[in-house]
Amino acid sequence: MNGDERMHDDGDDYLWDHSGQVDPQVARLERLLGAYAHPETPRRQLVSSVAPSVTALHRGNRRHLRWRAAFAAAAVLMLCAIGTRTWYQQRLHWEAGRPWQVVSQQGEVRIDGRNAGPSATLDTTGILETGPATVARLRAAGIGEIALGEGSRLRLVETRSGRHRIELQQGRLWARVWAPPGQFGVGVPGADVIDMGCEFLLDIDAHGNGILTVRSGWVQVDNLRREVLVPQGTRVRLNGGGAAGSPHANDASQAFIAALEAIDGRDGMVNPAGAEVRALIAASRPQDAISLLSLLQAYPRLAEGPMFERMAHLLPGVPASRAAWEAGRIEQLNAWWAALPYPRLKRWWMQWPDALPSRSEKIAAWLHSPPGG
Amino acid sequence: MSDADPMPALVEAARQGDAGAMDALYRRFAPVVHGVLLGHVQKADADDLTQDVFETAIQRLGELRESAAFPGWILSIARRAAADARRKRTPLTGVDIERASSQSEHGDRLDAERSLAAIRALPEAYRDTLMLRLVEGLSGPEIALRTGLTPGSVRVNLHRGMALLRAALAGTTKGASVR
């Protein structure tokens, strides 16, 4: 500070610390400029994802936090993938011949004629039978579960990784399986019922007559005379002495079902423009397309009548013409199959809720409901 | 932590994640940061940038080696923020806040704007010191404490800066060296 500045020191006291004589110009500037001062607003809080923690403050800036979060997310995803794969492999793995566990039972359950205890198992030499008002529930290897209603008779035919077969000689069976198509199958008198990743209810008498109701996914019925694909929300009649019927929607009308059974009963050998076909067409709705398509696939001659036009009308988004049908029937059928509003067979894993356990009271209610109900 | 705690202790506590210490640092240094920013940008932008500067400072507090160096360190952040803002052609807010200030009398408002413009035209040391004294209302000792400058330097800067400002407002200009 030079001498001139020292001479001003006394006069600058007010400028320095508001002491001494008030400097009018400084005071006026204070008054004018005070409105521009910091508004004393509270500090803006950092968003939680980047709020400083003890470690974050010492580790650097926000970019590092983002990288750490990304790596953490990737690690979690990788662990989930590994966990899911391990769980899936364990679910499908089953030692050959290993017995199935009876997990619960209500009423009278016998294995090889003896009352089953609380921790009973069923192996490939045994036969499980149920008495009146009975529900027996078993774990189907590691891929699902089954339950038997009253008056049922079941045999475990084969069980190993990738292939599990049981035989329902009579009675009512509920099954829920989450596994690749074909791993689980049920033999009934005169036919095989193959799981395609699904949940179903099977009601059969000792002669192989009965009804299959599919609750989710797809089931294939094969009796060496005919293969029938049955999607969720539909059911099909099984005939121990003949071919399986065609599937129909659970809520199809009685007139439709009667016409369908009349055509199936004659193995499709009806007049393509006859009374049975006309009755079927008259009672058909868009949700009955599965039935018409199954008939056309099993009995192509029916396409000579009005069933072809009706099918094209029920699935208007699929180009269809008689010329195309005659040139390549398989392509036309495939196009219609692809347009049906059911889960894709190749996406069986999308039915993942079937991997979850079911409630016992629900199963019991289904097993006690009227056949086909 | 309270406002009465020594600055290095506040910095250390904030470094450990103490939100109360962060708030106390903000209350103590926000006027200083704001005053420095106001030397470069309009008031509304200075208000916003003050928050940004503290957000940056708190996130990077781990990089500060000496807690006692906090005043100079945060002012350097403020000056960089001001330089970045100045490089932008338009005000951050897009509003000429000085003209929309709460000055009731038209003449006073013009005088305030003229005074602000004159302070902004001063060399940095005088500009910052006068902003803190005349706008933010800090006394010389407070300015010294919160900027890390010595009281002597602050007093000289105030004296010389005020002399230059008087001359500028009177329509005359005097050259002066910055200490």
> How many angstroms away from the CA of A44 is the closest CA of chain B?
6
Q: Which of A43, A50, A63 to mutate to test the interface with B (most CBs of B within 10 A)?
A: A43
Q: Which residues of A touch B47 (CB under 8 A)?
A: 38-39, 41
- Walk me through the domains of chain B, giving residue ranges and CATH numbers: 1-100 (1.10.1740.10), 102-179 (1.10.10.10)
Render pLDDT for B95-132 as a digit per residue (tens, 0 to 9).
Answer: 444 444 444 556 777 888 889 999 999 998 899 999 99
Render pLDDT for A290-317 as a digit per residue (tens, 0 to 9).
Answer: 999 999 999 999 999 999 999 999 998 8
Tell me if chain B has a CB within 8 Å of the CB of A35: yes
Average pLDDT, chain B: 83
Q: Which residues of B touch A62 (CB under 8 A)?
A: 59
Contact A1 B156 (CB under 8 A): yes
Task: Give the DSSP H/E element, type plus range, for residue A188.
Answer: strand A184-188
Contact A57 B160 (CB under 8 A): no
Q: Given a cut of 70, is residue B25 above it in pLDDT?
A: yes
What φ, ψ does residue A63 adopt, rounded to 5°? -60, -40
Contact A59 B62 (CB under 8 A): yes
> How many angstroms away from the CA of B26 is the closest CA of chain A?
7
Q: Which residues of B touch A8 (CB under 8 A)?
A: 159, 163
> How many angstroms away from the CA of B17 is the closest CA of chain A?
5
Q: Which residues of A touch B103 (CB under 8 A)?
A: 32, 35
Question: What number of other Cβ atoms are within 10 A of residue A188's Cβ?
Answer: 27
Q: Which of B59, B63, B65, B143 to mutate to test the interface with A (most CBs of A within 10 A)?
A: B59
- If you ran DSSP here, which 8-state letter would residue A119 be given? T
- pLDDT for the residue B97: 42
Q: Which of residues 253-312 of A touch B (CB under 8 A)?
A: none
Place of tokens 């359950």: A109
For residue B37, which of B47, B27, B29, B24 has the smallest C-alpha distance? B47
**A127 Rama class: left (phi>0) / alpha (psi -120 to 50) / beta:** beta
Q: Which residues of A touch B101 (CB under 8 A)?
A: 35-36
- pLDDT for the residue B16: 87
Helix pair angle (B70-87, B19-38), 10° resolution: 50
Interface predicted TM-score (ipTM): 0.84
Mean per-residue pLDDT for B46-60?
91
Contact B62 A58 (CB under 8 A): yes
Q: Which of residues 101-140 of B touch A (CB under 8 A)?
A: 101-103, 108, 111-112, 115-116, 133-137, 139-140
In total, the C-beta contacts within 8 angstroms joining chain A to chain B are: 117
**pLDDT bucket at B75, cuts 50 / 70 / 90:** very high
Q: Which of B23, B115, B134 to mutate to test the interface with A (most CBs of A within 10 A)?
A: B134
- pLDDT for the residue B3: 63
Tell me if chain B has a CB within 8 Å of the CB of A36: yes
- pLDDT for the residue B84: 85
Per-residue pLDDT of chain A (373 residues; tens, 9 = 90+): 444 444 445 568 899 998 888 899 999 999 999 989 998 778 877 554 344 444 444 444 566 777 888 888 888 988 888 887 777 777 788 988 999 999 888 889 999 988 987 789 999 988 999 999 899 999 999 889 999 999 999 999 999 998 999 999 999 999 998 888 889 999 998 889 999 878 999 999 999 899 999 998 899 998 767 889 999 999 999 988 777 899 999 999 999 999 999 999 898 999 999 999 999 999 999 999 999 999 999 999 999 999 999 999 999 888 898 888 888 888 899 899 888 988 776 566 666 666 666 666 777 777 777 665 5
